[in-house]
Amino acid sequence: MKFPVLLSFLFFLTSLSVMAEKEVVGYSNSDPLESINRPIFALNDRLDRFILRPVAVGYDTISPDFIQRGVGNIFSNTGDFTTSLNRILQGDFVGATSSGGRFLVNTTLGLLGIFDVASEMGINEAKSDFGQTLSVWGFSSGPYLMVPMFGPRTVRSGAGSIVDSFSSVEKQIDNVPLRNSVWGIKVIDGRAELLKADDLITGDRYIFVRDAYLQRRKALESGDVVIDNFEYETEEEF
């Protein structure tokens, strides 16, 4: 997708925000497309239950903790690169320097990010994405969307994820089979990290996932630091 086309697509997506009556402050007003979102959620849930989750369970079972930690650190490190770019676009040059410093330190001293040396040096992690950048630029959130295969989004965060995918480190890999393999591992590793949270989902799964996602986006786009490690001892802490 060429850059002018990408910009036009982003303009189209963000213009859909007029469909939402309010910003995401009351969840009942943020999901006018629920009748469409629920069937898509059901499809995604089946795909997860019968394909992605079993693969993630297998990965979690056969991979030692230090391997999973190293893989997770690598993808977290590439995320710091994207974060640094977005911090620049947000005018947060201190945050950009911090995230860029993390990426540089962990890529070199941390052996491509396998080891989180930056955190040990006191350079803390604070992720950001283009959805947050659009928020800083004044774009409204728009309605909640359940995207086939990709899961929950808002119009703003969905548009942001498209831009982030083009600026990601993984996208810069020229070898297509290798790039797809890296993305596949990233998806599986990310799903494995969520296995701890599966048993905490209660009641209406659709509402639970929707509200959890919107709360997280609201916190992220208001400037709060959001770090999900799902190491909760009780459901109340979750």
What proportion of the chain, given as a percentage, has pLDDT over 90?
74
Specify the pLDDT at position 235: 37
Contact 74, 86 (CB under 8 A): no
Q: How confident is the model at residue 202 (pLDDT cuts 50, 70, 90)?
A: confident
- Tell which wins on pLDDT, 237 or 216: 216
Query: What is the reported pLDDT for 122?
Result: 94
> Long-range contacts: 36-39, Cβ < 8 Å, 24+?
36/146, 37/144, 37/145, 37/146, 37/206, 37/210, 38/146, 38/206
Q: Compute the distance between CA of residue 143 and CA of residue 235 in angstroms, rounded to an integer.
A: 28
Residue 121: per-residue pLDDT: 95
Q: What is the pLDDT of residue 34?
A: 96
Largest separation between any pair of C-alpha atoms in the chain:
50
DSSP 163-200: HHHHHSTGGG---HHHHHHHHHHHHHHHHHHGGGGGGG
- Local confidence band at 220 (pLDDT 50, 70, 90 cut-offs): confident
Q: Could you state, in order of their start, the residue ranges of all structural domains in the chain?
A: 29-221
Residues facing 144 on adjacent strands: 154
CA 149 to mean position of chain CA atoms: 14
pLDDT category at 18 given cuts 50, 70, 90 is: very low
Instruction: Please write the tens of the pLDDT for every residue from 84-131.
Output: 999 999 999 999 999 999 999 999 999 999 999 999 999 999 999 999
Read off the pLDDT of residues 128-171 as tens digits, 9 standing for 90 and up. 999 999 999 999 999 999 999 999 999 999 999 999 999 999 99
